[in-house]
Structure 1
Amino acid sequence: MKTENQNKKSSVCNCLNLRRASLAITEIYDQYLAPCQLSVSQFSILKHIHAMAPVSVSELAAEIRLDRTTLVRNLKPLEQQGLIHDIAKAGTRNRQLCLTVAGKEKLEQAHVYWQEAQKRIEAQLGSEDTKILQALLLKIEVLEP
């Protein structure tokens, strides 16, 4: 009897294959980060804010390579949870984002789970295939339209 994974077949469409792979990887990271009540997208945003702080929304969007309006939508729950705050002076239009103490604690806690997800994926793919995957993804990311 074939397992579920053996029944899955690759598509001839590279785009579809990448989307499917992205969903599978996202699901793994989200599962590992669930105890922290963060998605992998939220974890990435917190990690980038921490590294770049203080950072404007535009700078953050450019670094993460995410549409600005999508980023703003993803920032709202983090602000509501008290994980990030804006340190820009009142009346200025350019927000300057930083992590709160709670945000730093959440990031530290989540980092442990993120590392476990990283290890799981590398264990399943193998070290060499993980390196190949990273190299291929970088090549894909810089493809010109």
Structure 2
Amino acid sequence: MRKLSRLMSQRYDQALAPAGLNLNQYSILRRTGGRGRPLGEIAHELGMDRSTLSRDLKPLAAAGWIESAPGEDARQRLLRVTAAGRAAVERAMPLWRRAQDEIDEGLGADGIAALHAQLDRAIAQLQGEAP
């Protein structure tokens, strides 16, 4: 699993490099969107812990692609993608799509369906949900 994860990440990182993003950054920007979303919600959706997400946000904030604002209470941070961040996602999206299409083509429709089914079962088991 770890080897597959690394190989997939490398493939996407190479594809996204011309847009100045890696796969983690692209995923964070895509999941965050333009409206304010709590850091914890985004971390959960990405399967990351909050401290890892916070660390990964630093270069995105430094590039001006993401900003944070206070939430409803002082403990909550809301994240949103800036106009520059949306432009970065727009540049990256066709690069990601091309990489995804190449992977899909290599594995075939049946292979992709089987892989997704296995991954869904594994995720459910690891999160303590009924398979």
TM-score by length of 2: 0.89
Measured in 1, the distance between the counterparts of 2:124 and 2:45 equals: 14
Equivalent residue for 1:95, pick from 61, 69, 77: 77
Shift of 1:112: 0.8
Shift of 1:61: 1.0
Measured in 1, the distance between the counterparts of 2:111 and 2:69 equals: 43
Equivalent residue for 1:119, pick from 101, 123, 127: 101
% identical aligned pairs: 35
Shift of 1:92: 3.4
* Two-structure CA RMSD over aligned residues (Å): 1.7
Measured in 2, the distance between the counterparts of 1:63 and 1:140 equals: 16
Structure with the bigger RCO (C-alpha within 8 Å, sep 6+) is 2
Poorly superposed stretches of 4+, deviation over 2 Å: none
Q: C-alpha offsets along residues 108-135 of structure 1, whole Å, 9 cap, x if unaligned?
A: 1111111011101011111210111111
Secondary structure at 2:21 match in 1:
coil
Give the structure 2 partner of residue 6 of structure 1: none
Q: Return 5+ residue gaps in structure 2 as ranges.
A: none
Shift of 1:32: 0.5
Q: C-alpha offsets along residues 71-94 of structure 1, whole Å, 9 cap, x if unaligned?
A: 0000000000000011337x9342
More displaced 10-residue stretch of structure 1: 58-67 or 30-39: 58-67
Q: In the alignment, does 2:2 pair up with 1:19?
A: yes
Give the structure 1 partner of residue 120 of structure 2: 138
Q: In the alignment, does 2:42 pair up with 1:42?
A: no
Structure with bigger strand share is 2
Measured in 2, the distance between the counterparts of 1:108 and 1:43 equals: 10
Secondary structure at 1:126 match in 2:
helix
Q: C-alpha offsets along residues 16-75 of structure 1, whole Å, 9 cap, x if unaligned?
A: xx0011111111111100101111111000000017x31111111112120110000000
Q: Which has the larger radius of gyration?
A: 1
